[in-house]
Structure 1
Amino acid sequence: MTEEQLTAFERRILFEDNHVLVVLKEPNELIQGDKTGDQDLLSKVKSYVKHKYDKPGDAYIGLVHRMDRPVGGLLVFAKTSKAAQRLSEQLREKKLKREYVCVCAGQLPPAFTLRDFLYKDTKSNMVTIVPSYLRKGKEAILHAQKIASVGDTNLVCIRLETGRAHQIRVQMAGFNSPLIFDQRYGGETGRGQIALWGMRLSFDHPITKKHMVFVAPPPFEGIWQTYQKELQLLTGQWPTIIEQLPEGTLD
């Protein structure tokens, strides 16, 4: 990593200490290396730590949670194995909260919860909603609140209760509200990044126990520009998203 690359990557970091690093993932950036051979964020974080602190060998960086490749937003990485273990525990116990904004089509109620069972076909890399009685799907729950509507589009805040592959994209499509530009799952066709962004991330620091909250809006361009005012307001005041399953959502 050159000095120029180091400086550019530092601009993406919202917080860093000896234990954790919070960084913005760019849309269409891999989280972890795969068969495509494209550069991935985990390798970039390792390279950044190695070069900035002159560490010999390969720097330890723990991958705590994931994000679909087309999606951008906030991610936390662990810089020690102890931090990785404790953050992973928070993720399992639903204390590490990941909240998103999306722009989707259709008519939506003010607030809603979706509970489905999702099955991923590893050959096609497609995820589908399946009946629970088939027992091959994994339970997926999200809670959502509509913030604003313009024409046939809606700005929605979403809190994940589970973290499944393509979860928000598939569940919203199943709710007849596909994400804008998510052509894989029935979204509007056209040129543009999928309208989904990891805007808010909160967890307890794995060592100090201090509660930490990070908020970063998407770039105000494309479809996001339509909702710039609302996104700016959300940056300062995030809504209280429902966390209970209302009647009628279970099988």
Structure 2
Amino acid sequence: MNQQPEVDEQEEQDLYEHLRVVVDKGQSLLRIDKFLMHKVENASRNRIQNAIDLGNVLVNDKPIKASYKVKPLDVISVVLPHPPRDTEVYPENIPLNIVYEDDDVLVVNKPPGLVVHPGYNNYTGTLVNGLVYHFQQLPTLPGNDGRPGLVHRIDKDTSGLLLISKNERAMTWLARQFYEHTIARRYIALVWGDLETDGTVEGYIGRSIKDRRVMSIYDDPEKGKWSVTHYKVLERLNYVTLIECQLETGRTHQIRAHMKHIGHPLFSDATYGGDSILKGTVFSKYKQFVDNCFELMPRQALHAQSLGFVHPTKREFIYFEAPLPEDFKSVLAKWQKYMSASAEQNS
């Protein structure tokens, strides 16, 4: 099957600048905001003070005040979004399914098939084009030219919840949560095969040597970045299994690559080999049934169902859930019906 390369969903850990500075032995006493202005590229004093106020600047592993004066051999660490870039994104009136909105954040339920941000072969018609139309001033993340407001991403053909920041203060606050993996996210997936128990997949994830569009799992840290996915069986449906996945890290194609790695690719995932019959019978009726499912859902069976985070202003944990979209619900219902019919025949 010929495919266009997917938009490269950059890892969330790479979206934030994590700066670690050991102060020189000969450094004279200097306010930390002034000190960091010379260390962080393109950073205004106001931006650095924002980060300090939010606890994103630590000295010797402890948060400090903007009036703190750096001392020789202090160890300073900073988690900070990069400054906005001058990349133009054209506003387009694209409907947004807004689950929650306030002055700081926006939670959107993204439909399958909608590209999140402009990129190769998708310079218009993306979620970001719609965001720019609806919200004129949105902050930008590191290396994220033309991707205002985004604090993380999901693949084009994955449905579900996406968190958007509406101002730089909120983005700085959320950046730290993504960096430290404290954002709570659960995905629902339909995978090939019968998963006998709950489990965890881990390994170093990196580009496949054979196909750059695909991610592979390696034992060698030189070949990729550490990744962890926990999964739980929700429902067994003969030749496929409905599972819940919880991310400990947020790497490109993480769930899709992890499930392929353990021999259970996502149902209908063309990139990872899930778009052909991998389990089941040889009967033509079964083949027709699976083909009908593929037709109903011509994308990977993956949905970002829930999202929880500590709000940047309220400082309270807030949580959202999005129901399965129609294509996923329809395919799931077909498999449930198929399993019931098979059980009756065998009884």
TM-score by length of 1: 0.79
Give the Cα separation in 1 of the matches to 2:130 and 2:335: 31
Q: 1:125 aligns with which of 213, 235, 248?
A: 213
Give the partner amino acid of 1:215.
Answer: E
The structure-2 alpha-carbon separation of the partners of 1:174 and 1:121, relative to structure 1 and needing over 3 Å to count, comes to closer
Tell me which structure has the larger Cα radius of gyration: 2
2:135 counterpart of 1:49: yes
Deviations along 1:68-95, one digit per CA (max 9) or x if unpaired, are 1211110110000010011110111121
Of residues 94, 100, 105, the one that matches 1:15 is 100
Following superposition, the deviation at residue 42 of structure 1 comes to 1.8
Give a deviation string over 1:216-250, Cα, whole Å, max 9, x none: 1222333233479xxxxxxxxxxxxxxxxxxxxxx
The answer to whether the 8 Å contact 1:148/1:156 transfers is yes
Gaps of 5+ in 2: 1-90, 140-147, 277-293, 337-347
The equivalent residue for 1:74 is 161
Q: Which residue of 1 aligns with 2:332?
A: 224
Structure 1 spans left out of the alignment, 5+ residues: 51-57, 229-251
Q: How many pairs does the alignment contain?
A: 216
Percentage identity across aligned positions? 29
Contact map agreement 2:138 2:149 (CA 8 A) in 1: no
For 2:212 and 2:125, locate their aligned partners in 1 and report how far apart those are by CA, in whole Å.
Answer: 22
Aligned partner (choices 177, 194, 214) of residue 90 of structure 1: 177
Higher mean C-alpha displacement, 76-85 vs 185-194: 185-194
Bigger shift: residues 208-217 or 120-129: 120-129
Task: Choose which of 81, 105, 110 in structure 2 pairs with 1:25.
Answer: 110
Distance in 2 (CA, whole Å) between partners of 1:126 and 1:118 is 10
Q: Choose which of 293, 314, 323 in structure 2 pairs with 1:208.
A: 314
- TM-superposed CA distance for 1:23, in Å, is 0.2
The correspondence for 2:242, drawn from 127, 152, 155, is 155
Q: Distance in 1 between matches of 2:335 and 2:270?
A: 21
Q: Distance in 1 between matches of 2:268 and 2:173?
A: 36
Q: Following TM superposition, by how much is the alpha carbon of 1:26 offset from its aligned partner in structure 2, in angstroms?
A: 1.5
> How many angstroms apart in 1 are the aligned matches of 2:260 and 2:138?
40
1:187 to 259, 274, 281: 274
Could you tell me how far apart the structure 1 residues matched to 2:168 and 2:335 are? 40
Asked whether the equivalents of residues 195 and 223 of structure 1 are also in contact (C-alpha less than 8 Å), the reply is no
Q: Which has the higher contact order (CA 8 A, sep 6+)?
A: 1
Name the structure 1 match of 2:305: 199
**How far, CA to CA, are the matches of 2:135 and 2:313 in structure 1?**
19
How far does residue 121 in structure 1 lie from its aligned partner after superposition?
A: 5.2
Partner Cα distance (1:227, 1:197) in 2? 17
Structure 2 equivalent of residue 35 of structure 1? 120
Task: Write the deviation string for residues 109-154 of structure 1: whole angstroms up to 9, x where unpaired.
Answer: 3310110111125973221122225x12111101110000112111
RMSD: 2.2
**What's the counterpart of residue 142 of structure 1?**
229
Q: Quick check: 1:174 aligned with 2:261?
A: yes
Q: What letter corresponds to residue 204 of structure 1 in structure 2?
A: V
Aligned AA (2:116): I
Deviations 1:175-233 (A, max 9, x none): 111100002111033332210000000001011111110001222333233479xxxxx
Normalising by the residue count of structure 2, what TM-score does the alignment of the two structures yield? 0.58
Cα contact 1:104–1:154 (8 A) shared by 2: yes
Between the aligned partners of 1:227 and 1:112, the Cα distance in structure 2 is 23
Q: State whether residues 24 and 74 of structure 1, in contact with CA within 8 Å, keep that contact through their aligned partners in structure 2.
A: yes
Instruction: Give the Cα separation in 1 of the matches to 2:231 and 2:243.
Output: 7
| Alignment partners' CA distance in 1, 2:225 and 2:238 | 34
Give, in whole Å, the separation in 2 of the partners of 1:120 and 1:167: 11
CA contact (8 A) 1:203 1:212 kept: yes
Question: Which residue, out of 64, 70, 84, partners 2:151?
Answer: 64
